[in-house]
Chain A
Amino acid sequence: MSQNRREFLKKAGLGALAGLGAAAGLFPAFALEPTDSSGFTDAPVPGKVRWGMLVDTRKCLGNCTECIVRCHHDHNVPDFGHTKSEVKWIWKSGYENAFPTASTQFQNPEVLERQVLTLCNHCTEPPCTKACPTEATFKRWDGIVSIDYHRCIGCRFCMAACPYGSRSFNWQDPRPHIKELSNTYPTRMRGVVEKCNFCSERLVKGELPACVVSCAENALTFGDLNDPNSEIRKMLAANETMQRKPELGTLPSVFYII
């Protein structure tokens, strides 16, 4: 048989193509899979919880860092002493840093100077979970974007994917940099990413997140966004609110009253 390799591959490819065409004709499901549109709706699913938070920036004023201190203590967040390797779960950003795409033209100067409380948004469409190669970070059944520290390999793809800078990396062993060890939550080890977990360890016990409890001004409201009768939903209906970078379509679960 005088047939060179190139000729053979050409014809074999044609055969495979013919097979593909025949299969598509025989099994129409293979040619075009029907799209499952149930995942597209953002209407609340009955019986399903979606935890959310509302930050009232009118009440969250001044240099108060009560919630930050409490959260970082309870979750054994290390303090490495310099901003380059800073680990943060909840922190304060300038108004224009928190809402970079919001219009600031002729805005009330008092508002522009506000320090806005920022934390993980626990997005409905989280870009970080899609970037994670090990599924260490994932969307939980209750809307919380969680990190399974056991599985994190420290690749930091999620940090690159997060549009809100909510994730921090442990460049060093965090243990020696924790001022006072708290037994309410484990620490992390060197080489893992960490972030706010909406206090899932407290929710399990039926308690509100540490930041919400520690706020003396009651500036933080926490609740189930899928429950139309929850306090947070009533607050959202009664006030004009904002989300961070809504144009990205991540559908954050953290809302702000300006």
Chain B
Amino acid sequence: MTELLFGGAGILLFAMGLWSFLVHEPLLRKLIAFNVMGSGVFHILVAISERGALRPDPVPHALVLTGIVVAVSATALALALDRRLDDEDPDG
């Protein structure tokens, strides 16, 4: 049951990320938590594309592939926004 182990790890990452996202106040920590949640979702998608002896489904693989790149660039934008917020209001 490799799929269950892999998907279970994904769900664990998702839950831990969600907890951190809700509990921590700084934007940077929320952003990291959000990325951990995203990694969990990618794990689950990759795990679920493998069904026993059948060939792995390429569609979730393709979704994860573009998803990673999009997540990285969206994170970069969020970091730039966060830094700009800090520049405007260093106390906030």
Are the chains A and B members of one assembly? no
Q: Which residues of B contact A (CB under 8 A)?
A: none
Q: Which residues of A contact B (CB under 8 A)?
A: none
